[in-house]
Structure 1
Amino acid sequence: MLSACASHGTRKVSAMHEVDYGQLRVTEHRGHDDLLSAGLGLAGLAGPPSPFANPLHPAAEELRRRAIQTSWKGIADLGPLGGYGRVYGGVPDVPGREYQAFARIPGARSPHRVLLQLPDGFDRSKRCLVVTASSGSRGIYGAISLAGAWGLPRGCAVAYTDKGTGAGYFDYADDSGVALDGRRAKRGEAELEFQPPPASPTAGVAIKHAHSGDNPEGDWGRHVIQAAQFGLAMLDRAFPVEAPFTPENTKIIAVGISNGGGAVLQAAGLDQEHFFAGVVALEPNVHVKGHGRALYDYVTEAAVWLPCALSAEHFAPVPLARGPRGVPLPAWPIRCASLRAQGKLGGNTVAAQAEQARQYLYARGWTDEAMQTAASTTAFDLWRAIAAGYASAYLRRGAANMPCGFHYAAIGAGGLPGVADPMTRAAWWADGSGIPPGNGIGLFGGMNVSTDPTLVGSECLRALWTGDDHEAQMLHASVAATAARLPRKTLPLWVLHGAGDGLLPTAFSSEPYVAWLRDEGRRPIYWKVPHAQHFDAFLALPGFGERYVPLLPYGYAALDRLWAHLYEGSAWPLDAPVPAARPRGPAPLERGTLGL
């Protein structure tokens, strides 16, 4: 409605649906506050959690500051050896305004949060709108270290979507959720980011990604397009004399990382009318029907098999694959014994069983490099956490009837389900990752009383993929809805992925997607970056930084090349040599290490 009031009668209307949003929140960010770091600067972002004056009732600006800090720390390597701000990237002070609302996909039960960051230095001579989607299941600022850090200092406006995920957790214990400003509010007191159907106070905690009933992943591309349309409408509002802002006069650059990378590739497949000027996707969770493997397939496989495989001597030198005495983590050899008892493995020693498990995964497309870095994901029990949340989303379940007996609840006394600490609950929107466990919320259920208690739940989740009953068929249908479509031939498109990615292995995601595009006559640029893995933030962990390089600088480089093509007349390269990166080693990162 705001866009229509500010527009001229000659505005060209896109065939794509206009964004549908409700209440609009506009805030100013200047002085000791800004768009990129909320006034913290690089040192503050890397420091301890930004404090609250009243932890029971944090102010909206305090929640925003901590949400931005949490999002930076979740993606970028801000450690003293990582080189951020010295070798690549930076966190300059960028004053400006934010426009935020809840937007809706037609037919969806729950909204997705959209946000436009408009710098005071917006370059009206080079109209630029960067649009992005959160990585993982993070909240609205989840991609700020990529899209915001590159676009805002350049004078671009940056539009964000949480793509139907985020930490708008709803706690049935006090019937509260998250309002537009990030603060807690009771059902009926305000419009909430996520408001599930009423249930008993003992129903636990409901998570938007898992429990919205919408299978949001199937609409990630539409979320990205709606965020871009919201950005254009807010530019119309900010500069009514220069309106309308349209794809014809404003270059829209879509960029994302991980799940956000998959989201912008989904959006690229929906764009047949030159809506986007270019797309850059880092380590995307992308699925192509009949090519590669879907995330749920290899995540549930990893949850069952990787604990045993990583017990193999082959992985002895790998960080997080061994305990302090150089032996496998205690639960991992037990997994080997469980699989042997089921007849899935032979051999009378852990070494023999682990090697068989490794060979099984190798035959399924896993590489040693992917398995090595997957040790971190396995040690942190992320496979089971991801699978439980995604299964619930795909089957459109609520908090009280998640598949395989899982449920989320606040962690009480003795680690049992209980009532959330009020201070922890008040900070959920700022601190949460979008998929528990974490921040005082546990993943319960899916276990039995045995020496290998998590196996029963992992095998149940796996059976939803390998089975053929009604639930398995429904899950497969939901996964099929997430498949990317073919982008237009003229779209500049760049895909980057770490060769050592152990969460979204290239063999299952980027490589089959790029091969499919090339088979269909497209010319994407593909960088499989040596010695890069999925989590730049993990490079601060002992043993990680020495072995790997961060992926973010390569994303910035691709965006630089796209900018030069769009605004400086440089030819779009038909190909670009993959940088000859080398491991960082124990010393601080240097530019030459990146091979750029």
Structure 2
Amino acid sequence: MRRLVLPLLSTLLAACATRPAPEDPMTTSEFVSEVRESVHRGNDDLLSAGLGLDGLRAKAPAFADASSPTPAELRRRAIHTSWNGIADLGPLGGYGRIYGAVPAVPGLEYQAFARVPGARSPHRVLLQAPDAFDARARCLVVAASSGSRGVYGAIALAGAWALPRGCAVAYTDKGTGPGYFDIDADSGVALDGTRAARGAAPLEFEPAPMAGATGIAVKHAQSGDHPEADWGRHVLQAARFGLAMLDRAYPGQAPFTPANTRVIITGVSNGAGAALQAAGLDADGIVDGVVALAPNVHVEGTRPLYDVASEAAQLLPCALTDARYDATPFARADGAVPSAWLARCAHLRERGLVDGGDRVVQARSAIERLRAGGWDDPAIETAASSTRFDLWRAIAATYAASYLRATPATMPCGFHYAAVDAHGAAVAADAATRAAWWSDASGIPPGAGVQLLGGIDASSSADPTASGIDCLRALWSSDDAAARVLRAAVAATAVKLPRAGLPLVVIHGEADGLLPEPFHSRVYVAALEAAGRNPAYWRVPHAQHFDAFLPLPGFGDRYVPLLPYGYAALDAVWAHLADGRSMPDARRFPSRPRGAGALDHDALGLIR
């Protein structure tokens, strides 16, 4: 791989010289770094960094020097992590056999740090330009990462669909990502993924110096920017960046503009929510079509993620002690109800949040409270996995800190992030742990050697997380000053509806236990229909949120993957844009559980 650092000014002047001012893709104030170009051919391609499907299924590639990996090693491992964080690559899942493929796609990458107006911290933007770009059907797919992942976080959806067919792909980490800042070492992540000291290079995230502070600063939680409110702007900025870099990748075909290049936006989960935000903000008509899978989308007047997640963190551990979940994957530990979940029932009863004098009645009371709030039974059952993995607390702590614009020293409810030793005590991270954050971390601890610590009286009972969760819930349900600030920040994430006639497919699994369909896609589609729009809403029975969980024993038997429907929707939107075919109708697929064997095509209910 070669590295060419391209001066920002020349990049922008070249773009301006080939298009009228109104279509100028970006302005100098939007960049905070130079543009890094890299070549990816031979054993280091765009789609899998040379790993291929077999390499993606194998263990993560090792670093030659664990404490000082090269940019190429970091990129390869980041792509491996991103694929395995989103797709079911297990032997029974059918990837590469029933749907999807990972061919070698040579080409170029262009990467930079960009900043939306008013933001303190940048977001990372990246364009993948395949050598076999289809000049006759100019196509740019734009995707934001799912969850809080790094810039390659949508590669298994956007890259896998677009690159083999000759489309370019522009990505953004939407102001989140694993660019953790080590306060002890005073270092962060540079543009090439390596670690750099404060002041030595532009960094993905660089909090203000804090005297006496220790631990780790996480960008999503502690950038001070409330990135979720800007996710749509991040996506539109990535689209403009992509068009500008296409001029550079294919100068003989320049200029690339929204008028002569079809732009499709897609994403999964938070990335899908960002896509829908972008569609609602697209006043300039950049976007030609949208495909959103399991979107975290907030419609004004409905329940947002923080409300649902903080409630789930409180109530689900008790609800899942009910005997009806004895055979539910992850609802039991070695065949028994986790003791902390039993203690949660007693804790909730003491606080008046559930009724009943014994844990059987208390569990049923918790279930009824969830149902009354809009949860349905498939989502409650599938949410056993999110509950067992402690995702609700991790999500609520991160989002609360972001909404309150917290610093590492002012996270709500006493939470903080740090590396830990074998006994769980906070320690300074070692060089090898730091080096792998950018490639390995999901953007929300715990993971990659970083833990979420703290919470009020976190170790004072048989249910050590209860007090911290109560505090996080109170930030939504109380009326103190912090709660009012948090609710106002959540209100700023409400989506605007896209322009009439925009080709749009929304896909959601009916068993989604992280972003339950009634709180997200269903209310968004209802808002569209109330405004006279006609979206294609695809509902998938027996699909849940995490395709990457499907290889887990006993879990994938019950579900089908969601990615095949994303690829099919992108096919349909492209056929509409390129060939004039009709947009697909709304539908509910006749899917069925995969079962104990390998996935077959009929289980998906998709027309061949």
Shared fold, TM over 0.5: yes
Render the CA deviation track for 1:266-320: whole Å, top value 9, x for unaligned: 0000113321110000000000111x31000000001111000000112122100
Partner of 2:185: 174
Distance 2:382 2:427 in 1: 34
Q: Using a 3 Å threshold, how does the CA distance of structure 1 residues 10 and 151 change in structure 2: closer, same or farther?
A: closer
Of 127, 141, 146, the match for 2:138: 127
Answering whether residue 200 of structure 2 is matched by residue 192 of structure 1, we say no
Range with greater deviation from structure 2 (178-187 or 202-211): 202-211
Q: What letter corresponds to residue 299 of structure 2 in structure 1?
A: V
Partner of 1:58: 69
Partner of 2:55: 44
SS at match of 1:400: coil
Distance 1:352 1:500 in 2: 25
For the 8 Å contact 2:12–2:27, the answer to whether it is kept is no
Percentage identity across paired residues of the two chains: 62
Answering whether residue 109 of structure 2 is matched by residue 106 of structure 1, we say no
Range with greater deviation from structure 2 (237-246 or 341-350): 341-350
For the 8 Å contact 2:91–2:598, the answer to whether it is kept is yes
Partner of 2:308: 298
Distance 1:556 1:11 in 2: 35
Answering whether residue 426 of structure 2 is matched by residue 409 of structure 1, we say no
Distance 1:307 1:205 in 2: 29
Answering whether residue 129 of structure 2 is matched by residue 79 of structure 1, we say no
Answering whether residue 436 of structure 2 is matched by residue 434 of structure 1, we say no
Answering whether residue 365 of structure 2 is matched by residue 352 of structure 1, we say no
For the 8 Å contact 1:11–1:244, the answer to whether it is kept is no
- Pairwise mapping of residues 245-284 of structure 1 onto structure 2 (< 5 A)? 245-284=256-295
Residue 17 (structure 1) shift: 6.1
Q: What letter corresponds to residue 358 of structure 1 in structure 2?
A: I
- Pairwise mapping of residues 426-575 of structure 1 onto structure 2 (< 5 A)? 426-448=435-457, 449-573=460-584, 575=585
Render the CA deviation track for 1:370-397: whole Å, top value 9, x for unaligned: 0111000000111001000000000000
- Pairwise mapping of residues 141-156 of structure 1 onto structure 2 (< 5 A)? 141-156=152-167
Residue 7 (structure 1) shift: 4.8
Q: Using a 3 Å threshold, how does the CA distance of structure 1 residues 489 and 439 change in structure 2: closer, same or farther?
A: same
Residue 343 (structure 1) shift: 2.8
Range with greater deviation from structure 2 (419-428 or 379-388): 419-428
Q: What letter corresponds to residue 444 of structure 1 in structure 2?
A: L
SS at match of 1:116: strand
Distance 2:172 2:582 in 1: 31
For the 8 Å contact 2:213–2:409, the answer to whether it is kept is no
Of 85, 88, 106, the match for 1:95: 106
SS at match of 2:423: helix
Q: What letter corresponds to residue 93 of structure 1 in structure 2?
A: A
Of 416, 422, 431, the match for 1:422: 431
Distance 2:355 2:12 in 1: 66
- RMSD of Structure 2 on Structure 1 (CA): 1.3
Residue 3 (structure 1) shift: 4.1
Moved over 6 A (4+): none
Q: Using a 3 Å threshold, how does the CA distance of structure 1 residues 354 and 9 change in structure 2: closer, same or farther?
A: closer
Of 222, 225, 239, the match for 2:233: 222
Distance 1:282 1:190 in 2: 36
Q: What letter corresponds to residue 595 of structure 2 in structure 1?
A: G
For the 8 Å contact 1:49–1:69, the answer to whether it is kept is yes
Residue 11 (structure 1) shift: 2.8
Partner of 1:242: 253
Residue 400 (structure 1) shift: 1.1
For the 8 Å contact 1:302–1:383, the answer to whether it is kept is yes
Distance 2:27 2:291 in 1: 24
Distance 1:208 1:81 in 2: 36
Residue 347 (structure 1) shift: 2.4
Residue 421 (structure 1) shift: 2.4
Answering whether residue 331 of structure 2 is matched by residue 321 of structure 1, we say yes
Render the CA deviation track for 1:85-129: whole Å, top value 9, x for unaligned: 000001000000100000000110000000000000011111100
SS at match of 2:349: helix
Partner of 1:206: 217
Partner of 1:30: 41
Render the CA deviation track for 1:535-576: whole Å, top value 9, x for unaligned: 000001111111000000000000000111111221223x24
Residue 240 (structure 1) shift: 2.5
Of 378, 399, 402, the match for 1:393: 402
For the 8 Å contact 2:115–2:121, the answer to whether it is kept is yes
Q: Using a 3 Å threshold, how does the CA distance of structure 1 residues 182 and 201 change in structure 2: closer, same or farther?
A: farther
Render the CA deviation track for 1:457-482: whole Å, top value 9, x for unaligned: 10111111111121111111111111
Range with greater deviation from structure 2 (17-26 or 452-461): 17-26
Corresponding residue pairs, total: 593
Range with greater deviation from structure 2 (149-158 or 562-571): 562-571
Q: Using a 3 Å threshold, how does the CA distance of structure 1 residues 509 and 319 change in structure 2: closer, same or farther?
A: same
Distance 1:184 1:422 in 2: 10
For the 8 Å contact 1:119–1:155, the answer to whether it is kept is yes
For the 8 Å contact 1:18–1:229, the answer to whether it is kept is no
Distance 2:237 2:511 in 1: 33
Range with greater deviation from structure 2 (348-357 or 388-397): 348-357
Partner of 2:4: none
Residue 187 (structure 1) shift: 0.5
SS at match of 2:502: coil
Of 332, 339, 344, the match for 2:348: 339
Range with greater deviation from structure 2 (26-35 or 350-359): 350-359
Q: What letter corresponds to residue 416 of structure 1 in structure 2?
A: A
For the 8 Å contact 1:31–1:95, the answer to whether it is kept is yes
Q: TM-score, normalised by structure 1?
A: 0.98
